Structures are given as C-alpha cells and as structure tokens.
Amino acid sequence: MAQHLRQVERALEDFLAPHAPPQSAWAAPTDLNNAMRYAVLDGGKRLRPLLVLAAFEAVSGTPAGGEDAAPLCAACAVELIHAYSLVHDDMPCMDNDVLRRGKPTVHVQFGQAGALLAGDALQTLAFEVLTPLDASVEPAVQARLCAILARASGRVGMAGGQAIDLSSVGLALTEDSLRHMHQLKTGALLQASVMMGAACGTASAAALQALEAYGQAIGLAFQVVDDVLDVTADSATLGKTAGKDANNDKPTYVALMGLERSRAYAATLAGEAHAALRASGLPDTAALAALANMVIHRDH
C-alpha cells in the first residue's frame, strides 16, 4: 500500500506539473495550475486510487506500475474527480466550508472564481489523464475507463447525489432515500474505482459481479463511517470541519439510526464486502480486504 501511495503521489505531481503537457503548445496559466495543485497535492487519503490499484492487481495478478500505464492513469483520474468535487462542494453557495485536509479551502486561498475554474479544470484533466496521446493505454481500455468514470461522476452518480443532498436539507429521509442519496454521492465513485481497476485487467463475469458487490458495500460503509466521524471526531483529526452535517441539518445515518446502530451497520457492510471478496474466486484479494478494513477503522 505504501508503494501504491508513492506511485500515485508521483503520478499526480507529474500530471499537475507546471510545464506544458505532451503535445500541447502551451502550459496551463500559473494561477490556475497553482489552484489545481493546491486542491490535489499534499493531502488526502488516496482511498480511491488505492482501490483502483488493488482491484487491478486482484484481477491481473500483476503489480501496478509496470509497462501498462492504465491502472495508474485510472487511479489518478478518479482522484482528480474526487478533488474537483471537494473544491466545488466547499464553495460558499454549497457547503461554505473553510477547512479541508487541514488547510484553508481552495476558494479561501484562490477566490471563488479561482475555485470554480480549478474544479472545472480538474474534472477535465481526469479525462485527459485517461486518454494519453502516446500508446501507453489501449484505446479500448481508455474508452471503457472514460465510460465508467463519466457515469459514476455525473447526473446519475456523484453530481446527482450532491443535488439530492442539496434538496434534502431539513428533511427526515427514510433509510431507503438516504441510501439512494449516498450510493450516488459517495458510493458511485468508490464503486467505480474498483470497477476501473478491474477494467484495466481481465476478469470473469463472476469476479466482476463480486467486485461490484464489494464496491457497493464499502461505498455505503464509507458514508456511514463519515456520518459517525462527523459527530465523534474533532476538526483537527478530520482535517475538515467536524459536526457540520448536524449543524447544516443534513440527513445522516446517525440522525436516522443513532450512533451505536450506525457503527453496527458499518461493521455489517464491511462483512458484506469481505464475503464478496471470498465469493469472487480471485486468488489474492488481501489488498482489497485491507482497504475495506481501512474504510471502517479510519479516524478521519
């Protein structure tokens, strides 16, 4: 996992380097590039990239970071989408937050227009990263990765979940509605991370189905734990403002089922994730299992 983290950090640094990208006549404007770097580098658990790389290794039996650039491109692309969503979610017209990853949020540091543009350009960069102009990723794999990522990020994925979140402030959602919101808002991208890693290799239909179930379980578990931490952790540990969901009157698992039942539910979901891995028929799912545990036992 430590090696994967180093690979991801180095690749993100490369993709956000200040010089002109391959085959481009120009570099990105300095202000914009600085805001993009600020949003992405030096922080973040990199859970999504780690899921991509672990899923790739589970289906392929090959270490990520070899000649095939696809897994690392996919890992970075999904992190860029995640970073863009945080930049826009923190803006004053959304959650209006000033603290993220222990630092002032992007709009505090670069202004609202700067944050808006940096988020926009980070989203675009994800699709640039998935479609390198050299021959390092098979075109069919590029297309498949773009297809998965776009659907997980857009109106029937992350952005859709965010829209439901916005319109749910002050409402008492049913458990089904809450699950639906979170499957879109957080779950879709976490699940997509797993499926993108698998798409960089070759997996049987049964293994893909098991990985889909694993991704869905950890996606939901992640959000349940998020809701628990929002109530139980402090801002310094979280690196973001604690208690803000409760303060903003947002529907959460803790509000719906209380702290203890939420914790138990997260553990149940982790159990489902492990069961899916056992059912996958894949020979080595230890890294995916470790990531499921990390989702449950994280303190931020």
| Chain residues in the site for its own copies (CB under 8 A) | 20-21, 24-29, 31-33, 36, 84, 88, 91, 93-94, 111-114, 116-117, 119-121, 123-125, 127-128, 130-131, 133, 139-140, 142-144, 146-147, 149-151, 153-157, 159-160, 162-164, 166-167, 180, 184
- Measured from the CB atom, is 2 or 140 closer to its own copies? 140
- Measured from the CB atom, is 143 or 206 closer to its own copies? 143
Instruction: Please answer whether residues 185 and 130 qualify as being in contact, where contact means their C-beta atoms are separated by less than 8 angstroms.
Output: no
| Nearest-approach distance from CB 261 to its own copies, in angstroms | 26
- Measured from the CB atom, is 138 or 260 closer to its own copies? 138
- Measured from the CB atom, is 83 or 288 closer to its own copies? 83
Give the Cα separation of 117 and 93 in Å (integer).
15
| Nearest-approach distance from CB 188 to its own copies, in angstroms | 10
Copy the structure tokens of residue 234. Answer: 């402090």
| Nearest-approach distance from CB 130 to its own copies, in angstroms | 7
| Nearest-approach distance from CB 296 to its own copies, in angstroms | 25
For 276, phi then psi, to 5°, come to -65, -40
| Nearest-approach distance from CB 210 to its own copies, in angstroms | 18
